[in-house]
Structure 1
Amino acid sequence: MTLPPCRKLSAVFALFCAATFIALGPTAFADGGWTDLTGGDDLATLWRGYQSDTPPASWSLTDGVLTLDGSGGDLVTRQKYADFELEFEFKIAPGGNSGVIYRAGESEPNTYETGPEYQVLDPKYSGVTPKVGPAALYDLYPAPLDASKPAGEWNTGRIVLRDGAVEHWINGQKVVSATIGSDEWNERVAGSKFAAWKKFATLTSGHIALQDHGSRVWYRNLRIKPLGVAVSANDSPKRMLFVTQSAGFKHSTVTRQPHELSHSEQVMQELGLRSGAFRVDCTQDVEADFTPELLKNYDVVAFFTTGELPIPVATREWFLNTWLAEQGHGFLGVHAGADTYADYEPYWDMIGGTFDGHPWTADTDVVLKTHADDHPAVKPWGPAGTRIALKEEIYQFKNWQPEKVRVLMSLDMERTGLKKPRHVPILWVKDYGKGRVVHMSLGHREDVWTNPTYQESLIGGVKWLLGVEPGDATPNPELSAAEQQLAEAAAEAE
């Protein structure tokens, strides 16, 4: 399991992260086809030395952490893997060097002579370049150096290999995408030291190897799932692609700092972990990551986005007409999700409306009210009729389609200081073909993202999108009409 970073969250939330890890423990990874490679106490159960039946003495496994201290050779899995997904955390000593090598055979003197390598390295290693830096596909495909955290800090890593297509991820970002055996691959290999190694990257299955490069290194939460095997639809966790790219205004809650995902991305990853129902991948590069091929790996897509994203029209149409309309697929719009594709009718027809200004700015005191308690997205806020006071930027909408949505929460215009003669929905849901849609208008402020009720509301909404929890999505246009009348009366009486 990859534990997302806890930094930049409240102290209580950070403590929750640690408590969740302790509560889950090593046996929590046995579901969904995953094998936990660092959960036991006996290193020799799942690991051995390269070309040896026993692990080198320099490797140890204590409290779920694999540590190399000294030098004794590479550590390899006892089992071989063909197509797989591998998740792990790693920490390297200052000036250190290691690597995760996959599809490694044992016919050659070294693991790296047969298997490609996910580089594990101090990002300030002397003479380092992106081509040999952290998370790079060593000496073939580069990764940006600023995606890695400094030596001595934990990074999250992920390798996905299916049908020759390989991805390297670090700290929630995909940094390498390559196809083994493609013309581009062969050209890069021919220009590298691997050209002389005839068995390099030729094996269709092999061991996972952790490299001994003479440096102290730590690995934890290392688990693997073979791909290409039929998996029950009830297996968990499901996957969400969280898109936080800004083609218009860029919110602070989606702004990334060096070596870190943004505040909202970190929280969303935490919520997936807490729920036990989904895991979250984050992207701010839809040109590379929002493709039919990659979206087939996801159950939910979430947008905290602005403006005209550079997604080809054909892909947008496929996403809306095919992917999202399929059973088991869902879309979550968060805050500025409705401030995206303002002139693209199929999008706002899907999401339910379009941003039309925010007279209630980020420091405005507002009051919200719930309209239902029969849906997991609104239950955390309290029974129907509950009033919630908070500071938040509130959007009003055009292209609003009350006949297609079920409104669960609105701005209480009678109790909010700044009054406008219009209904302002906050949270709504809708069916979309056989798929589902949730839009949550809140999320501008960082303290909203760390609000426990807001977090539980997002979890409930995603669980409904996944079909894990039931909820009524019957349109209630009569509610919007009644709220419109109340807003007009409140504005007139002011």
Structure 2
Amino acid sequence: MTCRTVLIFIALATAAPSFATAADHPPTDPKATEQWQPVPKVVTPGKHDAAPPSDAVVLFDGRDLDRWESTSDHSPARWKVHDGVLTVDKKAGNIQTRQRFRNYQLHLEWQVPADIAGEGQARGNSGLFLASTGSGDAGYELQIMDSWNNPTYVNGQAASVYKQMPPLVNAMRPPGAWQTYDVIWTAPVFAADGALTSPAYVTVVHNGVLVQNHTALAGETVYVGKPAYTPYTDAPIKLQAHGDPSQPISFRNIWVRPLD
């Protein structure tokens, strides 16, 4: 090795970064990796998995629609409450929560009638809008419909992000059975000038089965064309009265945990 080669080798060795390994600094005190603060707050779980925990906002408990309004004019919601459940009234239009939310955990149960008729998208169609950004069907829709032995386009079947992302699997129970959605919604983030800095994400468990895994949305739901984002800060949660003759869809046990 020449003198010049030795000098180059020494220079490279000196300039190269060094990375510590566990062997370089063996732990001597297990308490050094213990974290004591901040202490997580206590949340009391429900008596069963579907029951609201102590910090939940109960949106529908089977008794009234006090927390809901019509999307068209913000008048009191006029869907039918009976026998502890809430049933769509297509003449009354869509309904949404009076309270606005940003990031949240949501539990919702829904039922397609046992004697459902029709096929494809005309078979028990409704929708859960995770953020209602305007009247009508504006917002971000998680599809609700009967996908039990009912072929349709896959990004329009139950548990799809409508017209964007099919579910990972079809976890439908047959008509007449109660279906459950457990949703984690992460709202999109916008800069001061309205530019999107982080997309919306949704995770959905349908009847105990993971069907959307931190899915990134391309924008708001549209029936024709490509989705796009419109800036917003917080929004109501909306339920759709689709208007198909094969309705009515029913709902029960709806609660939400704000995560902001």
Q: TM-score, normalised by structure 2?
A: 0.64
Q: Which residue of 1 aligns with 2:226?
A: 195
Deviations along 1:221-240, one digit per CA (max 9) or x if unpaired, are 11001002xxxxxxxxxxxx
**Residue 10 of structure 2 corresponds to which residue in structure 1?**
none
Runs of 4+ in 1 over 6 A off after TM superposition: 188-192
Give the number of the structure with larger relative contact order, counting CA–CA contacts within 8 Å between residues 6 or more apart: 2
* 1:141 aligned residue: 165
Equivalent of residue 106 in structure 2, options 86, 93, 99: 86
Q: Partners of 2:96 and 2:167 in 1: how far apart?
A: 25
Task: Note the C-alpha offset of 1:143.
Answer: 1.2
- Name the SS of the counterpart of 1:152 in structure 2: coil
Which residue does 2:258 correspond to in 1? 226
Tell me what 1:171 maps to.
207
Structure 2: distance between partners of 1:85 and 1:50: 22
Aligned to 2:87: 67
Partner of 2:240 in structure 1?
A: 211
Query: What count of residue pairs does the alignment treat as equivalent?
Result: 191
Secondary structure of 1:37 counterpart: strand
Q: 1:110 Cα deviation (Å)?
A: 1.6
Q: What are the superposed Cα offsets for residues 397-418 of structure 1, whole Å, 9 maximum, x if unpaired?
A: xxxxxxxxxxxxxxxxxxxxxx
What displacement does 1:71 show? 2.7
Q: Does the CA contact (< 8 Å) of 2:95 and 2:240 recur in 1?
A: yes
Partner of 1:42: 64
CA distance in 1, matches of 2:227, 2:203: 24
Report how far residue 80 of structure 1 moved: 0.6
Structure 1, unmatched stretches of 5+, are: 1-20, 229-494
> Which residue does the alignment assign to 1:110?
136
Q: Please give the root-mean-square deviation of Cα atoms over the aligned residues, in Å.
A: 3.1
Q: Secondary structure at the match of 2:92?
A: coil
> In structure 2, what residue type is equivalent to 1:110?
G
Distance 1:52 1:97 in 2: 23
For 1:221 and 1:63, the matched residues in 2 are separated by: 12
Q: 1:72 to 1:176 in 2, by over 3 A?
A: same
TM superposition shift of 1:37: 1.3
Contact 1:130–1:144 (CA under 8 A) maintained in structure 2: no
After superposition, where does 1:218-297 map in structure 2 within 5 Å? Answer: 218-228=250-260
**Hey, what's the Cα distance between the residues in 1 that align with 2:58 and 2:205?**
19
Q: Deviations over 1:133-174 (max 9, x none)?
A: 111111111015631112221111111013533112101111
SS in 1 for 2:241: coil
Identity %: 27
Residue 150 in 1 paired to residue 174 in 2? yes
